[in-house]
Amino acid sequence: MNIAELIGETTEYDKKRMLEAKKPKSWCKSVSAFANTSGGTLIFGISDEGQVVGLADPEGDAEKISEIIKTKLDPIPEFNLRFHKTEDSKVLIILDVMQGDETPYYYSESGSLEAYIRVGNQSVKATAVEMKRMVLRGMHTSYDSRKTNYKVDDFAFSKLRERYKKWTGNSFDNKDLISFGLADEEGYLTNAGALFADESPIHCSRVFCTRWNGMDKSGGTIDALDDGEYSGSVISLIENGEAFIKRNNKVMWRKTSNSREEMPEYVERSYHEALINAVAHRDYLVYGSEVHIDIYDDRLEIYSPGGMPDGSLIQERDPLTVPSTRRNPVLADVLNRLGYMERKGSGFEKIISGYEFQINYNEDKKPLFRSDRYQFTVVMPNLNYNVPQDGTQDGTQDGTQDGTQEKLKNQIVGLIRKDNKISIERMAIALGVSVRTVKRRIKEMEDVYYVGHGFSGHWEITEKDDKG
């Protein structure tokens, strides 16, 4: 059975062996989740294992499905029911649920209301923050466009005016605040306007930066080689965040016949784009969290609150094919006017392509993206980490040359000592390399071996290693 033919253009679907009329929540939560996110399809007559079993009374089941949705969902989402007959005459019901524009869509039971969203391939109960987000969407508005109680006259916008003049050659005045969606006619700032103020009153709009000494945060702040905490206008956040990365970005170089080629640890175009995206697309409804820039020996990570707007997991998708979705359209539009980002949404492509043209680039050095319902992280490997030197590369700016295969092996041992049940996938993420590289290095290590099978097993290190 080709599921793709059944679900059409949607990518989200669930399967049910039969209609559980007496337990409608088992499938109605999927209806709620589909309506609250990007739509989806529910197929009745297929087991969880993908076995086509068919339905004994498809017409009767279809009537019950329609009735249950109309009585259990509030508001009633747009949906369509259709039948599909297999080659062996088994009948399936295909329930297509459209993306709704009156979010949130609640499931009602025993007087209580619950709203669900899609996270990956699961329908999960929405959190308080996700509920706020859906309410705004149902009102056809966004967080950054909402009016605040902050008066325009109480704030300065020197950073905004300076950048606008530099980029366009024109002066920025208060009427532009209104036309750009940063203030209203009554002189009150929108949330986007508050984010652009020199002394931004949006307290969660901050960037925390740390250059860690090593591969993780296990040593705490005592192991931090450099750090910074920045607040204020989003322009200040971008400038200070980039400045922090630049001063911790060592550059190797090598001589050529008539010049010198520089090889930075991190690509400016890539981390610039990642930082812009973190500031522009983060979820500002998440209080108590901020953008983080963490630099380790082998990688740079930029974290922002809030997952993918559609609830999908970026690591399960091709980042080059993900359509642009603007969580904060006003903020993104102004950043575009200031020359920081493009409207066409090419951020992922820029981050990846910036790396692909570097001298030390290979597949192990490709930027990675990961997300869940609470956060989004860009991982950019250190291009000069574990790169063998061939004599033409004359060192880094501070004269050091780290990065050998032996060091990677030692780091693998260190991770195992901290957690002897750590997976190869988690090792790869922690080390900023591919799963294939980790497997290859472990295969070369005679003193490291895996005992048991699957999740129940664990790593062991021989006594020879412990003594040495």
User: Using one digit for the tens of pLDDT, what is the confidence trace for 316-372?
Assistant: 999 988 887 889 999 999 999 999 987 666 689 989 988 988 888 999 999 999 999
Q: Apex CA 389: angle with CA 388 and CA 395, to 5°?
A: 130
Percent of the chain residues topping a pLDDT of 70: 89
Question: Which residues belong to CATH 3.30.565.60 in the chain?
Answer: 141-401
Taking each helix axis from N to C terminus, what angle separates 268-281 and 234-247, rounded to the nearest 10 degrees?
Answer: 150
With cut-offs at 50, 70 and 90, classify the pLDDT of residue 465: very low
Beta 122-125 vs 147-151: how paired, if at all? unpaired
Tens-place pLDDT, residues 278-329? 999 999 999 889 999 999 999 999 999 999 988 889 999 999 888 878 899 9
Taking each helix axis from N to C terminus, what angle separates 58-72 and 25-36, rounded to the nearest 10 degrees?
Answer: 60
Taking each helix axis from N to C terminus, what angle separates 424-431 and 435-444, rounded to the nearest 10 degrees?
Answer: 110
Give Cβ neighbours of residue 329 (< 8 Å, ≥ 6 apart). 142, 144, 145
In this prediction, residue 385 carries a pLDDT of 93
- Per-residue tokens: 290: 């901020």
What are the DSSP calls for 249-292, one per residue?
--EEEEE-SSSEEEEESS-HHHHHHHHHHHHHHS-TT-TT--EE
Which pTM value belongs to this model? 0.78
Beta 291-295 vs 207-212: how paired, if at all? parallel
Question: Which residues belong to CATH 1.10.10 in the chain?
Answer: 405-467
What Å distances lie between residue 459 and 353, 411, 413, 439, 464, CA to CA? 37, 14, 10, 13, 15
Checking if the pLDDT of 394 tops 50, the result is no
Structural element, H or E, at residue 413: helix 405-418
CATH of domain 3-131: 3.30.950.30
Question: Which residues belong to CATH 3.30.950.30 in the chain?
Answer: 3-131
Find out if CATH 3.30.565.60 is the number for domain 141-401. Answer: yes
Give Cβ neighbours of residue 151 (< 8 Å, ≥ 6 apart). 187, 188, 189
CATH topology of domain 405-467: Arc Repressor Mutant, subunit A (1.10.10)
Tens-place pLDDT, residues 11-56? 789 999 999 999 999 999 999 999 999 999 999 999 988 899 999 9
